[in-house]
Amino acid sequence: MTDSILSKAATMEIPINSNGDSRTAEDDSLEQGAQIGGSLDEIVGTLPVNMDLQQVMVSGPNLNETSIVSGGYGGAAEGIIPTSSIKDIRFKSRGITPSHSATSWIANQPGHYPAPSMHHSNSHPSMMSEEAAKGVAVEKFDSVKKWSINTYKCTKQMFSERFGRGTKTVDMELEAQIDVLRETKMKYEHILRLARELTNHFYNMVQTQQALGDTFADLSQKSPELQDEFGFNAETQRLLCKNGETLLGAINFFVSSINTLVNKTMEDTLMTIKMYENARLEFDAYRADLEELSVGPRDAAAMVRIEMAQQQYQIHKDKYERLHSDVSIKLKFLEENKVKVMHKQLLLFHNAVSAYFAGNQQQLEQTLRQFNVKLKPPGSDKPSWLEEQ
């Protein structure tokens, strides 16, 4: 009895296959699971056609929370079939092979819309951003490279001209007109500076005359014995103050017109001249580069460099010629505009100053009307009470 019990216990602990070889519990469970799967396929095949497999599954235990335990013929090992095998069996009953998953079966049902791929939607913008960043980096690198090459060539040309080793493209007539313009601008800036100083001094004088006239009028009321004398002087200072304000309006108009001519019209022309001079330097730099390559060897690599230099030379030549034409046109129109503006402003300044110091109030007012000069009302220069807060 004892020997039979020990032999049976030993048989349960160490399973033996048909060939007498020892097997692990995992191998037996896989084999028995396959056998159970095959037997369940046969059972499913015997179900009635009109009977839904889902009803059978609902009536039985919850396969998602249980596992099937089976044993072999005469073997003591336990085989565990996962619930996914049961799901494959349910799909077989609907004509789906066991290799299909639950997701693929649900996706084939009518009225079902597949869920979007989150991995694709997240990776696509990141790839686009990386490509955009690479494109911007390449553009910046190319621009820096072109700027470096251009700066090197222009610096080399500039030093060559300074030390007398390089040639320079010069238009003598245009260069003379540019020199005249720069000298004229310096003289007009001096006139503008003096006119502003005159305006400040004359404004202070007018303010002093107004204060003096107010004081004379006050003393005229408080000094009966000198009432007439204080009254005459107060009236004279008030008249001078009124004429002074009219003259200040004419001088301010003169200063504003000269400022526009110097700091806008002339400055715009000088900016075009500066662009023209830079284009001239670049043109001479690439011309010298092309001449240097032309006298060198004529192998295949040299011919490629010569062709590229020829293209750059033509580009900068066109730019130089275009700016040369722009400078010539602007200098011509600037000269005409300068004569027209200065003729009007100098006549205004002369007539206004002469009428003021001659004491001719009517002529002074007529001069301002002749040149369409509008006087600001008294106190308009003072800030409002909102601006003072």
* DSSP symbols for 19-71: TS-B--HHHHHHHHHHHHHHHHHHHHHTS-TTS-HHHHHHHS--TTS--EEEE
> SS3 for 378?
coil
Burial (Cβ within 10 Å: 0-12, 13-18, ≥19) of residue 138: exposed
Residue 109 is predicted with a pLDDT of 53
pLDDT digits (tens, 9 = 90+) for 164-191: 787 888 899 999 999 999 999 999 999 9
- Domains by residue range for the chain, with CATH: 170-189+249-373 (1.20.1270.60)
Asked whether the predicted pLDDT for residue 56 surpasses 60, the reply is no
Asked whether the predicted pLDDT for residue 353 surpasses 90, the reply is yes
Distance, in Å, from the CA atom of 327 to the CA atom of 140, rounded to the nearest integer, reads 32
In contact, 293 and 306? CB cutoff 8 Å: yes
* Amino acid at position 236, single letter: T
Distance, in Å, from the CA atom of 287 to the CA atom of 230, rounded to the nearest integer, reads 82
pLDDT digits (tens, 9 = 90+) for 336-348: 999 999 999 999 9
Asked whether the predicted pLDDT for residue 285 surpasses 70, the reply is yes
pTM (two decimals): 0.59
pLDDT digits (tens, 9 = 90+) for 184-194: 999 999 999 99
pLDDT digits (tens, 9 = 90+) for 69-111: 444 444 444 444 444 444 454 444 445 444 444 444 444 555 5
Q: Phi and psi (nearest 5°) for 68?
A: -90, 130
pLDDT-derived band at 143 (thresholds 50, 70, 90) equals confident
